[in-house]
Amino acid sequence: MDERIKVYDEKMQKTIEFLEEDYASIRAGRANPHLLDKIKVDYYGTPSGLNAVANISVPEARIIQIQPWEAKMVKEISKAILASDLGITPTDDGRVIRLVFPELTEDRRKELAKDIKKKGENAKVAVRNVRRDANEAIKKLGKSGEISEDVQKQIEDEINKMTEKYCDNCDKLSEAKTKEIMTV
C-alpha cells in the first residue's frame, strides 16, 4: 500500500472501531459489561472507569453484578449509573450492585434498530469524507507534478476500493447488531 494512502486507511479503520464501540454500548436485552464502559465514577477526586474500581461480572443472562473493591464506592457507583443514559435502576445490598435488564419491547427493538442504522450511515459518511480528503490531496499532488496522471488514477482507484471495503464493513456491523437486537 502506498504510504500516501496509509494515513487515510488508518482514519477509515478508526471510524470502524468507533462504530464497533458505539454498538457495544447499545443494550440488546442481554447483560453486556461493555454497556458500563462509558460510565465514570469519582475515585478520590479522579474520574475512573467502573472496571478500575470494581469487579464486573455477568452471573445470569440479564444481570450485571458490580462488586466494588471498596465498600464505600457502592453509593458512588449507584449514583453514576443513575446519572448515565443506561435507563436501569441499580439495586445494592451495601456490598454488591446488581443491574437487572428487562426484556426489550417490540417498539423499543424497532427504535434501537433505527438508531443502529443511523449510526451505521453516519460511519459511512465519515468514511466517504476521508475518501474526499484523500482524493483532494492526491489531486493536489497531481497538479503540482509530484505524481504522474497514471499514478494519480491508480491511487484514486485504490482509495475507492478501500472506501467500498469500509462501507461494506459498516453495513455488516449494522446488520449484525440489528439482528442481535431483533432476536427475542
Q: What are phi and psi of 91, to 5 degrees?
A: -120, 140
Q: pLDDT tens for residues 49-100?
A: 888 888 888 888 788 898 998 888 888 888 888 888 777 888 888 889 998 8
**Arch. (CATH architecture) of 3-24+105-182:** Orthogonal Bundle (1.10)
pLDDT of res. 157? 92
95 burial (CB, 10 Å; 0-12 / 13-18 / 19+) is: exposed
Q: pLDDT tens for residues 131-171?
A: 999 999 999 988 888 888 888 899 999 999 999 999 999 99
CA dihedral 129, 131, 135, 141 (to 10 degrees): 100
Q: Which CATH class is domain 33-100?
A: alpha beta
Span(s) in the chain for CATH 3.30.1360.40: 33-100
Q: What pTM does this model have?
A: 0.70
Span(s) in the chain for CATH 1.10.132.20: 3-24+105-182
